Structure 1
């Protein structure tokens, strides 16, 4: 007994929405990485260097070849220190 094609329309819509969602998430991650591919298995060193790059360039994955840091970077310390007791 054949299945009417109307019963398969919801499954087609669901599969299409999964595809649209996956493509949208991929595009957002690509835009957040400055046009580079998403990184996997990031360890502490990679996080530290990516944070440094973000502070230097404004982008998480941005890199610069300028040997001189931008103005204000000398005070842009990522380390959080406790307040001094007086």
Structure 2
């Protein structure tokens, strides 16, 4: 005795929706990452360089080959000054 194919339609719809939502989430992550593949296992150096790139270009994974830093880069220093003792 066979299974009527009408009983399998909801499973096909659910499988298709899981595939569509997974592909959409993957594409959104790819677009948010500057159209580059996501990075894994970042250490402190990588995070520091990615923060520098973000301050230089405005994008976390953006890179610039210009010789001079853009105007205002000297004011975006991530290091904070110690309060002076008076």
* Aligned residue pairs, count: 86
Unaligned runs of 5+ residues in structure 2 are none
Map Cα deviations across residues 24-66 of structure 1 (whole Å, 9 max, x no partner).
Answer: 1111111111111111112221111111111110111100001
Unaligned runs of 5+ residues in structure 1 are none
- Return the TM-score normalized by structure 2: 0.86
Closer, same or farther: CA 85–28 of 1 in aligned 2, 3 Å:
farther
Root-mean-square deviation (Å): 1.8
**Aligned partners of 2:85, 2:32: CA distance in 1, in Å?**
40
- Return the TM-score normalized by structure 1: 0.86
Query: Structure 1: which 4+ aligned runs deviate by more than 4 Å?
Result: 80-86
